[in-house]
Each structure stands twice: as structure tokens, then as C-alpha cells.
Amino acid sequence: MINMDLKPAEIVEINDLEQIHEANKNGIVNPSRTIRMLNRIVLDITYECTLKCLNCNRLCGVFPRKNEIDMASIINFVDHSIEMEKKWFHIYIAGGEPSLHSRILRIFKEVQRYIEYHKKRFKTNLIIKYFTNNHSPRSRQVLKELPDFIINNSNKKDANTPFKPICVAPLDLGYYDDENLKPCQELYQCGMTLNYKGYYPCAPAAAIDDVFIKKDMAIKTLKEVTFERMAEILHRTCRYCGHYFEPVGYKRNPKLMLSGTWKNYLEKTYRMKKTKRGS
Ligand code: SF4
Ligand code: SF4
């Protein structure tokens, strides 16, 4: 699926770094902190979303889709976390729009199972956040049922919020050196991601594999996750990811920012979709 029913005014083609460059306001990428991805996790439980933000870093705006994680994967995540005595620093429940997961309340219960373990075992703080767009009756209903151990993080105004670039490939702008890979802060601020396919070093890498690379690079269980395997995935995804420009800074934009590789891929996929439906 792909959303290319866009007006030209909704797209900005990016052919040169100067077009998105802006002084970096986010601090310096610190590669030594990348190890932190291993004790922070984002559960991207569904890619379905009621908003279609064009630069959504889960690519829900240009590639709307409904894949959701199954309960078995969530249960395994909690079981393995407990077996491995995993001391998570935070667990974020996100998507897509997480309230659209068919078993969201059951997911809260599973996360609570881990919280109880964590309390007994570590007696330290654990942050659980829920990222909703709060833009539908369903999302508002789930918010009413949000357990009090979860922090509500719903601050999205609408799909016109200016976003960081995602579909701008560093490779296209000559800003990529695989031997000197510098993954962005997403790794150590948000951490690794579990989606419906498995574990990835970050949420944008998971989304890029899901809709573009399509090699199912996910690591299937938590027990198999190592820093080295996560790094292998980053060597295949960062080159396509607009967040990679973080050290030089980037402008945020509500319009879809597209570099050549992504533009060609979107157009090709869109043409195939149109041919399929015979229009
Ligand atoms: S609300 Fe969030 S998940 Fe949904 S399209 Fe916008 S950025 Fe993506
Ligand atoms: S894939 Fe993107 S978001 Fe993830 S570390 Fe690389 S540049 Fe950052």
C-alpha cells in the first residue's frame, strides 16, 4: 500500500544537503551511548494510524498499513525479559496509533506483569510511556482506560506538525560513510524496537525494512539480540534514513521531504499499485 495521492505542493524534493540543513539544536551524536539501545525499548504494536503525517518516521503517512504485533510476541517479550533478568530503563508503547491494536488492554496487562517483576527484582524506577495521537474516539476511549502505571504522552496536534526528514537518504546527498557509521540519538533516547516482525535497533530502521528494504532483518527473539547484530541492521538502514543528518542539523517540515532513492521507489510502487487496480 502506498499513499501518493499527494498534490505537488505537499512534496519537497531534496537534492542537496543545504536544502534541509539547519544548525543542530539537538546536541551532538555520541556513538559511545549507542549501547543504551539495549536497555530501552519501544513496542511498535501496530502501524495503523488515523493521522497520515507525511514525514512520519514509521512511514505510516506514505505507506499506510495495518500490520499489528500478535499477543504471542508480547508475551514472549515479557517472559524473556523476566528469564533474562532484563533491567529495562523504559518501555514505550507506540505505533502507529497504539489504541488501534485489537488487544491493547491485554497488552497493558502483559506490560504490568513485567513491571511487577521489575519492582521486586530491581526496586528502581521504570518508565512506561504510551504514545497516542489522541485524535479519534477510539484513542480517547483507550486513554480513559489507561492504567495509572503508564504515563500518557499524547501531544500530537495534527498531521501538519513539522517533522524531521525520514525519506531523505544520506546516500543520495553524499552524506554517508559506512566505515564511519554514526547512528543518531534515536538509539539511545528511545532504544531498540519490537514490531510485528521482531527486534530492531530503532523504530525508523524497523519501518524502513518493513516498507522499503523488505529483507525481514528482524531479530526474532530477545534472547538473540546482541549489539553486533543490531549494528549489522544499522549498516543497512541508516543510509536511507533522514534522521542520519542529525549531526549537521535538519529543518523540520510538514511537507513530504523526498530524496531521489525514495522518490523513485515511491513512484514505482505507486505505479504498480495503480496498474494492479487497473486505473
Ligand atoms: S500520528 Fe504518529 S504514527 Fe500516526 S502518522 Fe503521525 S507520526 Fe506517524
Ligand atoms: S536508522 Fe535512522 S533513526 Fe535509526 S539510528 Fe540510523 S539514522 Fe538513527
Q: What's the whole-number average pLDDT of the chain?
A: 91
- For residue 43, is pLDDT > 70? yes
Cα distance between residue 84 and residue 206, in whole Å: 23
What is the residue whose three cell numbers read 531521489?
Answer: 260
Q: Which residue in 72, 69, 71, 75 sits closest to 48, CA to CA?
A: 69
Q: Ligand 2 atom 6: the closest Cα is on which residue?
A: 238
Torsion of CA 118, 119, 122, 127, to 10 degrees: 70
94 contacts 191 by C-beta, under 8 angstroms: no
Domain ranges within the chain, ordered by starting residue: 8-276
Contact 69, 218 (CB under 8 A): no
Taking alpha carbons only, the member of 248, 250, 190, 192 closest to residue 28 is 248
For ligand 1, atom 7, the nearest C-alpha belongs to 56
Ligand 1 pocket, mutate which of 43, 50, 93, 97 (most atoms under 8 A from CB): 97
What is the arithmetic mean of pLDDT over 107-127?
Answer: 95
Judged against a pLDDT cut of 90, whether residue 279 lies above it is answered with no
pLDDT over 90 (residue 86)? yes
Beta strands in the chain (DSSP E): 11-13, 40-46, 90-95, 127-130, 151-152, 192-194, 199-200, 256-258
**pLDDT, greater one: 2 or 90:** 90
Q: Would you state the pLDDT for residue 25?
A: 65
Q: Residue 277: which pLDDT band, with cuts at 50, 70 and 90?
A: low
Nearest ligand, CA 57: 1
Q: Which ligand is nearest to the CA of 50?
A: 1
pTM > 0.75: yes or no: yes
Q: What is the CB neighbour count within 10 angstroms for residue 146?
A: 18
> What is the structure's pLDDT at 159?
74
CA of 131 to the centre of ligand 1 (A): 10
pLDDT of 153 above 70: yes
Position 154 scores a pLDDT of 78
In CATH terms, the fold of domain 8-276 is: TIM Barrel (3.20.20)
